[in-house]
Amino acid sequence: QVQLVESGGGSVQSGGSLRLSCAVSTYSYSDYSMGWFRQAPGKERGGVATIDTAGSTTYADFVKGRFTISQDNAKNTVFLQMNNLKSEDTAMYYCAARFRGWGPLKSLAVSDFGYWGQGTQVTVSS
């Protein structure tokens, strides 16, 4: 079983930065690809960034150049560094995991991830 706990959300002004963290409880962290997703009010949850077991990353077009996903394998933690935040980045951000081999490589699809955290709210004011 995998448990995910996000932290680091908050309120920031447009142009500011936040760093989200996701602590992952599992016996085999290296067997899981990790992802960050977000859901704004009235909208569907969608992919932001993923990092696979080899450290390869994938980003949604709307965050390229602004967000960076990374992980600390020794601490079973995945991060999302968010810079130059915009009001449209306001959403609940979720950490997710999938076992290696589930779904296609570089997938940002919600349906390809089977484990989810409770989310952390990010609010960007203009």
104 torsion bin: left (phi>0), alpha (psi -120 to 50), beta (else): beta
Per-residue pLDDT at 104:
87
Cite the beta strand spans of 63-117 per DSSP E. Answer: 67-72, 77-82, 91-99, 115-116
pLDDT of residue 71: 97
pLDDT for res 102: 84
Tracing tokens 């009010």 back to the chain, one arrives at 41
Question: How far is the C-alpha of 109 from the C-alpha of 101, rounded, in Å?
Answer: 14
Its sign, for the CA torsion 59, 39, 19, 74, is negative
As a whole number of angstroms, the longest Cα–Cα distance in the chain is 42
Distances (CA, A) of 42 to 91, 103, 114: 10, 27, 22
CB neighbours of residue 5 within 10 Å = 14
For residue 105, what pLDDT is reported?
Answer: 82
Query: How confident is the model at residue 49, as a pLDDT?
Result: 98
Residue 94: predicted pLDDT:
98
pLDDT at 51: 96
* Per-residue pLDDT of the chain in tens (126 residues, 90 and over written 9): 899 999 999 999 999 999 999 999 998 998 999 999 999 999 999 999 999 999 999 999 999 899 999 999 999 999 999 999 999 999 999 999 999 878 888 899 999 999 999 999 999 999
Could you tell me if 70 and 55 are in contact, meaning their C-beta atoms sit under 8 angstroms apart? no
